Amino acid sequence: MKSSLIFQLISGFIWIAFSCLMLSCEKQSPYPKVIDPEDNPTTPEKVALGEKLFFDPRLSIDNTISCASCHVPERAFTDGKVLSVGVNGKKSMRNAPSLVNVAYQPYFMFEGAIPNLERQSHVPIIDLNEMGYERISELVDKLAAIEEYQVLAQSAFNRPFDVFVLTRALAAYERTLIQWDSPFDDFYFLQKPMDAQMQRGYQIFSEKLYCAECHQAPYFTDFGLHNNGFYDSLDWGRWRITGSEVDKGTFKTPSLKNLKLTSPYMHNGQLKTIDDVLDYYSQGGSGNPNQDKRIQAFQFSDEERRDLVYFLKSI
């Protein structure tokens, strides 16, 4: 009896010490904390199921396209194509955005129409040019017939595989796609010194050209919706949601993280290189009526350009 009580006390002290250590580590972490939604707290089982779904081409109607087809891990979860390609070689209307650090985003899609990751997965599934289904229930019925997914659904959610399981698991996995290990991150979070060229580039970025007004560290986006003048009549961005004339050509500010891996650029992939982007902005954009007034023509030397590009590749 006494030895049992001693064992319980020791176990209790160990658990308290471990809990305090974990809380201490959490408080000491210099990186932004991911906040899970109340109805979908992250668990290892959900992440494992979501990862399996993410890489499964059976998510498309012809079993050829997975989420990872357009969001390739080695390319910072982009695909290097002008427009992403779905079932039967059909092109979508937009360039595939990076999924790195999507856990911190307040809304999704280039026009900011989707409020959370759980709902975002509906969009490519029922896009006839991407996953190819007319209704998400078609995909759910297909995957529910797979015994492995039923087993994993019970393990992760204690329920049969359904649309709730599908969307929550994918969202749980995508919230783990966190990256804070770039040279700039080391400076920003760990107070490691920048090298001289990075420092010069950062000064040009933040003080001379005011790029940081929309591309704010450490996320390198303000999560806002802006008109940078770059659009055509095929895609009017936020206007598709609001129908308001002032929203024509308004898109969500993309993050600049992993810029050297995520070309081509802009929502329609029309600019191939970082230099192409700098050329576009240095000429003052396109000058369309709705363009953000902060976008003005500028000049900089070849050396300043090199320093700026060097910095952008360090993000």
Q: Which CATH architecture has domain 44-174?
A: Orthogonal Bundle (1.10)
- Residue 27, pLDDT score: 61
Q: Where in the chain is the domain with CATH 1.10.760.10?
A: 44-174, 183-312
- Residue 34, pLDDT score: 97
d(CA 101, CA 104): 6
d(CA 49, CA 168): 10
- pTM equals 0.89
How does pLDDT run along the chain (315 residues), one tens digit per residue?
A: 434 333 333 334 334 443 444 444 456 899 999 999 999 999 999 999 999 999 999 999 999 999 999 999 999 999 999 999 999 999 999 999 999 999 999 999 999 999 999 999 999 999 999 999 999 999 999 999 999 999 999 999 999 999 999 999 999 999 999 999 999 999 999 999 999 999 999 999 999 999 999 999 999 999 999 999 988 888 999 999 999 999 999 999 999 999 999 999 999 999 999 999 999 999 999 988 899 999 999 999 999 999 999 999 999
- Residue 241, pLDDT score: 95
- Identify the CATH class of 183-312: mainly alpha
Place of tokens 């026009």: 111
- Residue 94, pLDDT score: 96
Contacts of 98 (CB under 8 A, 6+ apart): 71, 76, 77, 78, 254, 255, 257, 258, 262
